[in-house]
Amino acid sequence: MADNNSSDNPSGQGQGRAANSRTNASQKSAADAGPPTVEPTVKARRDRYLVAARPLPGIQPMAVDVIANTLTNMPDVTIVKHVRASGFGALSTGGAGGGMPEIVVAEMDQAQGAALRASAPPHVIVERDALLRHADDMTMAFNNAMTMLPGVGIDIKLRVVGTGGQPLPKASVYVYGLGFPGQGNTDDRGEVTVTVFGGTIETIQAIYVKPASDYWDRMFERPALSDGVNTLQLQSFAATFDGFPQAAYLGWGQQLMKLDQIDAAFTGQGAKVAIIDSGCDSSHPQLTHVTRGMDFTNNRDAASWARDTMSHGTHCAGIITGASNQVKGIRGFAPMAEVHALKVFPGGRFSDLIDALDQCITRQVDIVNLSLGSSEVSELVAHKLVEARQNGIACIVAAGNASGPVQFPGTEPSVLTVAAIGKLGEFPTDSYHARTVTPGLVAGAMFSPKFTCFGPQIAVAGPGVAIVSTVPGGGYASWDGTSMATPHVTGMGALLLAHHPVFRDTARARNEQRVAQLFALLANAGVRYLGDPTREGTGVPDLQRVAGLAAGAGTASASLGVASAGAPLGDAFGNRITFGAPQSPFTGLGINTHLAVNPAILQGLLQLRSAGLI
Amino acid sequence: MTNGSAERGNLDQFIVAARSAAAGEDLAAFEDALKSVPNAAIVSRGGRPDQPHLVVTLSSQDAQQLKSRFGPSLIIERNAPLNPL
């Protein structure tokens, strides 16, 4: 049960990290501690707990003073009040000296409270001082006409700022209360007021902030909100990756696939790549070389493909072909490839996909990125994909993000279908990226994100969590999805088509055999991290494992199959479970679980640890 | 009074194409048949000259009836939306 990531590519990690100058965000905040430039960001709301002696026959009840002293000595615990009860049934019969047990009401954060409950001795009661609700809030809402009347909303005033307190406009803010979430976008001052119905300010469960660009998203759970303006602070990419985007940043996916270890002359020159998506903002400093396209949402217009209102195509384009122009920024796989942006979103349907694939055939494209899918199946699209393959066009297709079986057209045998894989330590723990991790799907530092579709059609996996790439307007965003995994494989495919010797001679002919040869090279180069072929196929393609591409790569397996034995998923006892993989920007936030510990005990220890009690 | 389109179900988009090059005439026949279907319309014509297709709006009931008539020579399927993933 080796940590495949570290055993398979130690040199890759080392070199990659050297290329990036990363900083642990939490460390940087501490190091930069000076005069505050911004009022404190919203913190997690603290819970109230009731703590009292539990009378047990033959056991001396714990004195209230002892309970109060214990709580007082705990860090960050505040005693709010004492409640002198007048009788609680069984409790009332066992108090010392016949009196009622006194209850200490204390505030602490949720993790501390959970730890306190887990560690409480039998003769001490610890329970949450939960909010009371009207009975009809829970059971009568759909029966009682009174409760169907529109309630009075509460306005949550928020200000979203960066690390230095600068306002962040155009950030999407979602507020989750007891009912439907409220949503709004920040104005030029970074401010937004979101109205939510059906609860008080204390019932707000979470606030999610998705910045327009250049910052990590952030989930504020159980936020402690006031009636005034509440400040939500986000962390910039520049704080994580020093000097970004002026300084070069090599994505974790590019490192995993060893893009930094190939001949610098391998730039994809000569390969034709099509991206069938939402267009591509070619005014982005890293995408100015993208000059070809067609807009199928606008009567095949030859110019409007550059207006990407969804950002999706521009993000995919950065992964495939992001080039170091005015800024270093990210590194795409094939910056010298000839890229064709074929726009079908928003509003794309099967007929648009057929037209776009026809255009690929006409333009003699070599490889197509299809970060799209449908819940339905099309016989006509399936025929067109076969025709494309017969014309030597390799279609690389996303598996889907529905957490279920692979979606069409990823189900078609004529294409190469890509699942997503994630890596711990590559994103802040309070970002939405962290929510894609499911404990049972972690193996070493790698994990299969909960959203990825799976099944026997999965050929390979690509990096698909916390992928930083280009977005319209000149910025960058970190996104998740099989949509992000797929362009990693498309970009590598373009490199192979442009530079692998096997495509220089007979296989250069545009036919089905060429596509089959490319798919075999990609699959052969796979490194398995998870041990589950239905979630990763033959693994993540590794440029160093492609026989014949680069010096020293001759050790790669010559036959289609498993390139490395992966750790099985969900082995929580033999593998490292951590949000802080070695040398990652978010280190020091995980634990080792090499010992075989009962999961319940482990959970208790985790709670105590997170509460600062051990 | 009942509304004809309500009886037939909501209008939706369908793609229509010949199963083989030899079935090109059937696409023309389909287009003729479409003229007698209430609320049906051609949205666009696409495909290469040797592989033309029509995008039409039809009710699901009318689509079923046309499929039963033209099914052997034409593919008639819902022009379903795609999603970026």
| Torsion, Cα of A544, A547, A548, A551 (10° steps) | 40
Q: Tell me the nearest-neighbour CA distance from A386 into chain B, angstroms.
A: 14
Whether the CB of B44 is below 8 Å from some CB of chain A: the reply is yes
Predicted-complex ipTM score = 0.92
The pLDDT value given to residue B6: 53
Nearest to A278 among B15, B55, B84 (CB): B84
Q: Are A209 and A186 in contact (CB under 8 A)?
A: no
Size of interface A-B (CB pairs under 8 A): 76
pLDDT band at A610 (very low <50, low <70, confident <90, very high): very low
Nearest CA to A257 among A591, A84, A575, A15?
A15
Amino acid at A468: V
pLDDT at B8 over 60: yes
Task: Report the residue of chain A nearest B17, measured CA to CA.
Answer: A380
HSE-CB of A42 using CA atoms within 13 angstroms: 30
Q: Per the CB < 8 Å rule, is A344 touching B82?
A: yes
Q: Whole-angstrom Cα distance, residue A429 to residue A529? A: 22
Beta-strand ranges (E) seen in A535-613 are 540-541
Residues in chain B: 85
Q: Whole-angstrom Cα distance, residue A400 to residue B16? A: 26
Q: Whole-angstrom Cα distance, residue A189 to residue A169? A: 6
pLDDT tens digit sequence for B47-69: 999 999 999 999 999 999 999 99
- The number of helix segments (H) and strand segments (E) in chain B equals 3, 5
pLDDT at A432 over 90: yes
Q: Whole-angstrom Cα distance, residue A217 to residue A173? A: 10
Nearest to B78 among A376, A407, A482 (CB): A376
Between A238 and A74, whose confidence is greater?
A238
Q: Per the CB < 8 Å rule, is A349 touching B80?
A: yes
Nearest CA to A302 among A340, A330, A331, A269?
A340
The structure tokens 């530092």 sit at A445
pLDDT at A25 over 70: no
pLDDT at A27 over 60: no
Q: Which of A120-134, A298-312, A403-417, A440-454 has the lowest mean pLDDT?
A: A120-134
User: Angle CA(A252)–CA(A257)–CA(A261) in degrees, nearest 5?
Assistant: 100
Q: Whole-angstrom Cα distance, residue A540 to residue A6? A: 14
Mean pLDDT of A128-154: 57
pTM of the complete model: 0.77
Q: Are A22 and A236 in contact (CB under 8 A)?
A: no
Q: Per the CB < 8 Å rule, is A350 touching B83?
A: no
Q: Considering only CB atoms, which chain A residues are within 8 Å of B79?
A: 349-351
HSE-CB of A421 using CA atoms within 13 angstroms: 39
Q: Tell me the nearest-neighbour CA distance from A461 into chain B, angstroms.
A: 15
> Which residues of A make CB contacts under 8 Å with B?
277-278, 310, 312-313, 344-345, 347-355, 358, 371-376, 378-380, 398, 400-401, 407, 481-483, 486
pLDDT tens digit sequence for A360-396: 999 999 999 999 999 999 999 999 999 999 999 999 9
Q: Considering only CB atoms, which chain A residues are within 8 Å of B53?
A: 351, 354, 380
Q: Per the CB < 8 Å rule, is A348 touching B82?
A: yes
Q: Considering only CB atoms, which chain A residues are within 8 Å of B85?
A: 371-373, 398, 400-401, 407, 481-483, 486
Mean pLDDT of A515-525: 97
Q: Per the CB < 8 Å rule, is A373 touching B85?
A: yes
Q: Tell me the nearest-neighbour CA distance from A217 into chain B, angstroms.
A: 19
Beta-strand ranges (E) seen in A512-569 are 526-527, 540-541
Task: Report the residue of chain A nearest B51, measured CA to CA.
Answer: A358
